[in-house]
Amino acid sequence: MFKFLQNTFIIFILISSSLFIGHFIDLNINTKNVSHNSDIVFIGHSNLQYALNDSLISKKLNSKCRNYGLGGQSLFWTIISAKKHKSQGINNFIISLDEVSYTSGSKTYNSSSGMLNMRQYKSFLNLNDWSAIMKMDLVFGIKSLFILPKFTSNFLGRYSRGERPFIDDLTKNNRGKIIDIDDKILHDFIKNNPNSNFVIVKTPFHPNYYNKIMYKKTSEYVSNRLNSFKIYENTLVLDYGKFLKQDLFFMDHSHLNYRGSNILSNEITTRLIQTEFFSKNYDQK
């Protein structure tokens, strides 16, 4: 019995040491200032991934912009990825926030996108983040404790040119009506980084989405939550939810195609230039 306990203790120490060392290796890889790679990063789920053409915006702003939108990424993991960007010296963020952000909390801890993001961003979770994960799904949280992080300075996501024909509905995994996550993690990130600059953007939804009674309460909730971010001096809130109305700009109710993307990208760029948001009183690099 003593031998068994001794062996168990040794195994525990070896596993804990490996995880501890892995954590610091990953942090070391990502705490070197590599902000020359990007001036402004765009982060969020697939609605942002298809909505903002980073090449177009880069040219018009004369800045290095990069879209890291990722299909299936929950708001929780979006902000954890922002922490990794911050560790690399990034100070300018465009972050997606819409109905899908508030009704896809389960994507934080599911077996596909949840585990994918955990491997990529585990080292940037703090104690509050771990507590939130354990409350969301204890099994996922416990499993995640024993996962080694992926040792990389890279990020998940990229801009995608939408070319699918229009479908008059939301995608299957985005049809939630129940609000299952709050935005505290985003508020905390903004408050904890007063020298960084944030644009909170709601990308366009098709008019037929707003005509569905089942989504009315969610849309009203999102409108109120967007307003809650206007209190921060370092944050610009842009609500383009009803900006585009024609089928030819959409692939479905919440994803723009490349035509819609280019129109929205030009519009947002114009707004940023007019407000001088990423230049006035801020360090862009």
Which pair of structure tokens corresponds to residue 265?
């990208």
Other residues' Cβ atoms within 10 Å of the Cβ of residue 267? 15
pLDDT (0 to 100) of residue 24: 57
Helices (H) and strands (E) in the chain, counts: 12, 5
pLDDT (0 to 100) of residue 35: 47
- Taking phi over 0 as left and psi of -120 to 50 as alpha, with beta for the rest, 240 belongs to alpha
- The whole-angstrom separation of Cα 159 and Cα 42 is 9
Question: How deeply is 79 buried, as exposed, middle or buried, from its count of CB atoms within 10 A (0-12, 13-18, 19+)?
Answer: buried
Residue 83, phi then psi, degrees to nearest 5: -65, -40
pLDDT (0 to 100) of residue 285: 43
- The whole-angstrom separation of Cα 140 and Cα 144 is 6
pLDDT (0 to 100) of residue 170: 93
- Taking phi over 0 as left and psi of -120 to 50 as alpha, with beta for the rest, 126 belongs to beta
- Only one residue has tokens 């947002």, namely 268
- The whole-angstrom separation of Cα 83 and Cα 157 is 15
Amino acid letter, residue 175: R
By three-state DSSP, how is residue 220 classified? helix
pLDDT (0 to 100) of residue 280: 56
Q: What is the pLDDT along the chain (285 residues), one digit of tens a residue?
A: 655 555 454 544 544 555 556 555 665 667 765 545 789 999 999 999 999 999 999 999 999 999 999 999 999 999 999 999 999 989 999 999 999 999 999 999 998 899 999 999 999 999 999 999 999 999 999 999 988 888 888 899 999 999 999 999 999 888 888 999 999 999 999 999 999 999 999 999 999 999 999 999 999 999 999 999 999 999 999 999 999 999 999 999 999 999 999 999 999 999 999 998 987 544 444
Residue pair 85/155 in contact (Cβ under 8 Å)? The answer is: yes
Three-state SS sequence of 245-259: CCHHHECCCCCECHH
pLDDT (0 to 100) of residue 3: 59
Which residue ranges form the domains of the chain, and what is each CATH number? 2-275 (3.40.50.1110)
Kindly list the distances between the CA atom of residue 236 and the CA atoms of 6, 38, 81, 95, 181, in Å, as whole numbers in the listed order: 57, 20, 20, 10, 22
pLDDT (0 to 100) of residue 6: 52
